[in-house]
Amino acid sequence: MTAGTVRTPRAAAPAGRGGFLAVVRAEWTKFRTVRGWVVGMVVAGLLVVGVGLLGHSECGGQAGPDAPVVTGGPSCTSPLGPGGEAVTDDYYLVHQPLGTDGSITVRVTSMTGSRLQPWSKAGIIVTASTAPGSAYAAMMVTAGHGVRMQWDYTQDTPGLAGTVGPASPRWLRLIRAGDTITGYDSADGTRWDRVGSATLAGLPSVAQAGLFAASPDYSNVTSQSIGGGSGSGGSTQATAAFDHVMAEGGPAGGRWAGTAVGGTGGTGGGGPGAPSPDGYRRSGGGYSVTGSGDIAPVTPQGAGSVAQPVIGTFAGLIAVIVVAAMFITAEYRRGLIRVTLAASPRRGRVLAAKALVLGTITFVVGLPAAWAAQLIGEPMERSRGIFIDPVSAPTELRILAGTAALLAVAAVLAVAVGALLRRGAAAVTAVIVVIVLPYFFAGPLAVLPPGAADWLLRVTPAAAFAIQQPYPAYPQVTSQYTPENGYYPLAPWAGLAVLCGWTALVLGLAAYRLRRRDA
């Protein structure tokens, strides 16, 4: 790079932009002519693709022959809900047909069971059919979260608080008017409150209405810290007592029929020690319904997630940080920075050009790498029988473009830190420590309590990994919403914004110091 090549375009466009373009061109020339940096970027891309192929789980929830059965492991197959998401739809239902206009009302007097979970649930439901994944709306009592109205798997609205019992019974009512189901609850059967209203598109003219019970699997993680963790889990069972059952709007003389929806019920889902298999009993004027399973969205953990193939981001990130830091610190080491600044005395502009060139190159390398990781990784997972929970096209695009953006912004941060510290090793270490280490502390190390871990992933640049979160965390589903399972405390774009904020701050600081200090 000689001063002459820089001067020519500047003479052609003396004011403003032309000068900047020349600096950008100079920086691009520097990058592409240093073989180590080009190789480094290629390595970064290969790492993003290659590490992602390490995923090696198999479906069925068992990690190995002598490993404990881990609940929530990747599943082999899963029904899809009305919104296209994978759902769990296992429960016991006592039902009869319901026409386009009608209602069902019950009083729930108790809920008991083996290993009741906070989200064990029982109540009344209007569902399109007994096939798993059907559209539905339900009013229910839960073991730990009061009365809820839930519909179409992902929706949840609170009703009366408190637990149900003989002294505090709960009255539930669902009214169907065409496609619209409205839920009411009451503590005494006379004063009713509207809880929520759901529109179930395409609800058939003859739907099924009835009483249901479900209780999600439990899982205990005894020690999730690095260096040994073991989980155990199993199914649970809930039994609810109903009376004052009143169904209107069905065919005359409708008879109740019992169905184990999803097929896993009815086999004593409560595991060893369960008092009775799933089913229902008539007692006096009421019913007692026993069920296990859940009616809820699946919350994939690691394997089975569309984000699984891009775990190589961490490896690619380190390579990108090394190249980006060297892109500026090598100039200090070799004294080239003095030539650069002599040729282009507006120093802020030099820094901006370096950041722009490297950020762009990283994005251009990162996007196809992430895409390739997914193109190769997903069929590999499917070939092992793993069911991959589908996401919408915008979400998929956000994960891929977000991964590339994360790499690109991290590269700019590394350039800025390099300009500030002027030492390659120090700059690389600083950037890795602020991006990768907080993730490691909050995720795999698992030594911090959840509150502190969440804060690490909110305020440090590691927040940016939230851009890769494929599935929402549902408050009404108990799961391990941890970073290594793909769940973050910040919303995807908010997380990336945190990294952008830090980068802007350090870049500003670096520009200020660059102007004030001798090179």
| Among residues 433, 459, 491, 505, the one that binds other proteins under rule CB under 8 A | 433
CA distances from 262 to 27, 90, 266 (A): 61, 4, 10
Distance of CA 33 to the CA centre of its chain: 41
Least separation in angstroms between CB 431 and other proteins: 10
| Interacting span for other proteins (CB under 8 A) from 12-20, 141-149, 197-205, 323-331 | 323-331
In the complex, least distance from residue 57 CB atom to other proteins, rounded to whole angstroms: 4
Does 45 engage in binding with other proteins (CB under 8 A)?
A: no
Alpha-carbon gap, residue 153 to 83, rounded angstroms: 9
Segment near other proteins (CB under 8 A); pick from 60-68, 100-108, 118-126, 392-400:
60-68
Whichever of 159 and 461 has its CB closer to other proteins, that residue is 461
Of 100-108, 130-138, 150-158, 219-227: span binding other proteins (CB under 8 A): 219-227
Provide, rounded to whole angstroms, the least separation between the CB of residue 308 and other proteins: 7
**Pairing mode, strands 87-89 and 170-177:** unpaired
Using CB under 8 A as the binding rule, the residues of this chain from 100 to 159 that contact other proteins are none
- Show Cβ contacts of residue 271 under 8 Å, excluding neighbours closer than 6 positions: 114, 234, 235, 236, 237
d(CA 343, CA 363): 28
Answer yes or no whether residue 318 interacts with other proteins by CB under 8 A: yes
> Within 13 Å and on the Cβ side, how many CA atoms surround 73?
21
Residue 76 interacting with other proteins (CB under 8 A): no
Q: Say if CB 120 and CB 111 are below 8 A apart.
A: yes
Strands of 275-342, DSSP E: 279-283, 286-291, 295-297
Could you say whether residue 258 binds other proteins (CB under 8 A)?
Answer: no
Give the helix ranges, DSSP H, for 335-392: 336-343, 347-383
Q: Which of 22, 26, 48, 70 binds other proteins (CB under 8 A)?
A: 70
Which CB sits closer to other proteins, 47 or 108?
47
| Nearer CB in complex with other proteins: 433/459 | 433
Residue 440's Cβ-count burial label (10 Å; 0-12, 13-18, 19+) is: middle
DSSP state, 474?
P
C-alpha distances in angstroms, 209 versus 82, 131, 192, 245, 296? Answer: 18, 13, 20, 12, 18
Which residues, including other chains, have CB under 8 Å from residue 332's CB and lie 6 or more apart?
A: 422, 423, 519
Q: Select from 45, 74, 265, 377 the one that contacts other proteins (CB under 8 A).
A: 74
Shortest CA distance to 270 belongs to which of 213, 312, 222?
213
Is 55 a residue that touches other proteins (CB under 8 A)? yes
- Piece of the chain touching other proteins by CB under 8 A; list 5-13, 53-61, 127-135, 336-344: 53-61
Q: Using the rule CB under 8 A, is 333 a contact of other proteins?
A: yes
Residue 140 · residue 172 · CB < 8 Å? yes
- How far apart, in whole angstroms, are the C-alpha atoms of residue 367 and residue 361? 10
Q: Which of 109, 127, 329, 395 binds other proteins (CB under 8 A)?
A: 329
Among 106, 260, 315, 506, binds other proteins (CB under 8 A): 315
Q: What is the C-alpha separation between 400 and 223, in angstroms, rounded?
A: 33
- Does 228 bind other proteins (CB under 8 A)? Our answer is yes
325 binds other proteins (CB under 8 A): yes
Q: Are 140 and 476 in contact (CB under 8 A)?
A: no
CB closer to other proteins out of 266 and 390:
390
Q: Is 343 a residue that touches other proteins (CB under 8 A)?
A: no
- Shortest Cβ 323–other proteins spacing (Å): 9
With CB under 8 A as the contact rule, the residue among 46, 63, 257, 504 that binds other proteins is: 63
Site string for other proteins, 469-498 (x = CB under 8 A): ---------------x--------------
| 137 close to 183: Cβ distance less than 8 angstroms | yes
- Whole-angstrom distance, CA of residue 331 vs CA of residue 80: 55
Q: Which of 3, 11, 13, 36 binds other proteins (CB under 8 A)?
A: 36
**Which residues of the shown chain bind other proteins in the complex (CB under 8 A)?**
36, 40, 51, 54-58, 63-64, 67, 70, 73-74, 222-223, 225-230, 301-304, 308, 311, 314-315, 318-319, 321-322, 325-326, 329-330, 333, 423-429, 432-433, 436-437, 439-441, 443-445, 447-449, 452, 484
